[in-house]
Structure 1
Amino acid sequence: MTATREEPAPQRAWVRLYSGKRLDLLNPTPFDWEDSDLAMGLARTYRWGGHSKWELPLSVAQHSLFVLALRRRWSPDADDPRADLRELLHDADEGLLGFDCISVVKPFLGPAFRALTASLERAVALRYGLAPWTSAQRRPHKRADRIAAASEAVHVVGWTPREVRATLRIPHSPLELDPLAAVYGGTPWEPWAPTLAAERFLFELRALCARL
């Protein structure tokens, strides 16, 4: 009797989310997650490789609210809910993937990783009606994002301002005052607990979506 070879099981490419929904990471659709899944995913995904001089690391959810606060402070169209929403969701793919790759590692991950994150970005854009960035819009976004990174590096992780420029190659000075402390109170620059970060992110997300 000739032995039959079993076909290998298909690779599992989906993850089970906080709500119980399944997200296929290789073929995501805009209907695969709840807003609470995104908030919790971002609150449990950490920047700076999870390193911090505080008791807790800094979540991508808190970083997203930080960048949004800078947009509202500096932008001439500060009362634009769709622009605010795009700023809030600029790293949303990381919350769905559960991974914020540090910048020096990204070049080694190759085109397959970039294709995966791009498909998640497209699903997010479709779900929330986000238009692509124009060049004029991307410039102030990148400035705010990089200033946030410089500030986090110094106040959260423990880099020096000189190292921020010389080693991290961020051509911006860190802020002295934490813009989130002015909004939420608490100890300036202290990373929030995941449940609190998720709650604050979800509240802002729902408030913006209700204004569209």
Structure 2
Amino acid sequence: MTAITKGAPRAFVLLRSRRRLDLLDPDPEAWTDEDLAGGLSRTMRWGGASQWEHPLSVAQHSLTVLAIREADGALTAGEGLRELLHDATEFMLGWDCITPLKAQLGEPFRALEARLQTAIDARYRLPRWTPEDYALHKRADRLAAASEAMHVVGWSRVEMRKTLGIAETPLVHDPLSPCAFAPWEPWPPRVAERLFLERFHALDHAHRSELRKLEPELRSSLVLTGAEHAAS
């Protein structure tokens, strides 16, 4: 564990694994996968507003976005993992900051989020977004949000457009809807954690396999690039 320098700025979070995560200087190895899944299953969307017994978790939202993107077409394991972890920084912060408030918090909050996202990207070796992929992701994210606003929180279509500025048409059918739960019903944290971890482990394992297959090709490319540079 990194020694603490007296007087150095820090903002530690004690995780369920008993590891400490410094939000100001996040170490990509400071948390376990169970910390991440458990945190996201207990982080509430929509400020906790819900018509149901439970609020909607970021874990369930992340699975919904992934399902919408998978319905658009095949994803590599790395692309699927990137979708699943698109809000992973929120487990570190312990809250899902709504977009209008982010604008008020300004550059310091954006810089904090960027540092946390960099740690996530490094830990799971996520592929970088292309402009095309990011546009598809944002469409899925907005579609999930529109559906949640209606089916989970209880906004009407008119209120969504006028008050929230949401123009997307909500989905009728829940792309998840596991047994024992009604469509769009928020799951208890223990269920959200378990289902999130199942998809995470499958995607992470497949993504690591993809990377291992690419490593010889990447090493060859680096050697060739080095030889070309030396010759010049």
Q: TM-score, normalised by structure 2?
A: 0.83
The equivalent position to 1:60 in structure 2, one of 58, 61, 65, is 58
When the two chains are superposed, the root-mean-square deviation of aligned CA atoms in Å is: 1.3
- Residue 108 of structure 1, CA deviation: 1.1
Equivalences for residues 68-147 of structure 1 within 5 A: 68-75=66-73, 78-147=74-143
Q: Percent identity?
A: 54
The equivalent of 2:40 in structure 1 is 42
Tell me the secondary structure at the aligned position of residue 15 of structure 1.
strand
- Match of 2:13, as an amino acid? V
* Residue equivalent to 2:188: 193
C-alpha distance in structure 1 between counterparts of 2:176 and 2:162, whole Å: 27
Q: Distance in 2 between matches of 1:113 and 1:202?
A: 28
Tell me, in whole angstroms, the C-alpha distance in 1 between the residues paired with 2:156 and 2:174: 17
Residue type matched to 1:107 in 2? A
Change (3 A) 1:29 1:12: closer
Q: 2:149 aligns with which of 134, 147, 153?
A: 153
What is the distance in 1 between the residues matched to 2:13 and 2:200? Answer: 23
* Long gaps (5+) in structure 1: 1-7
State the SS of the aligned residue for 2:95: coil
Assess if the C-alpha contact under 8 Å between 2:78 and 2:127 holds in 1: no
3-state SS of paired residue (1:23):
strand
Gaps of 5+ in 2: 1-5, 208-232
Could you tell me how far 1:131 is from its partner in structure 2? Answer: 2.2
Which of 197, 201, 204 is residue 209 of structure 1 equivalent to? 204
Q: Secondary structure at the match of 1:172?
A: coil
Cα separation, 1, equivalents of 2:147 and 2:17: 33
Q: 1:11 Cα deviation (Å)?
A: 5.2
Which of structure 1's runs of 4+ aligned residues deviate more than 2 A?
8-12
The higher radius of gyration belongs to 2
Alpha-carbon deviations, 1:103-151, whole Å to 9, x = none? 2211111211111111010000001111221110011100000000000
The alpha carbon displacement at 1:12 in A equals 4.6
Q: What SS does the corresponding residue of 1:104 show, helix, strand or coil?
A: helix
Distance 1:141 1:102 in 2: 18
Between Structure 1 and Structure 2, which shows a larger proportion of helix residues?
Answer: 2
Give, in angstroms, the shift of residue 20 of structure 1: 0.8
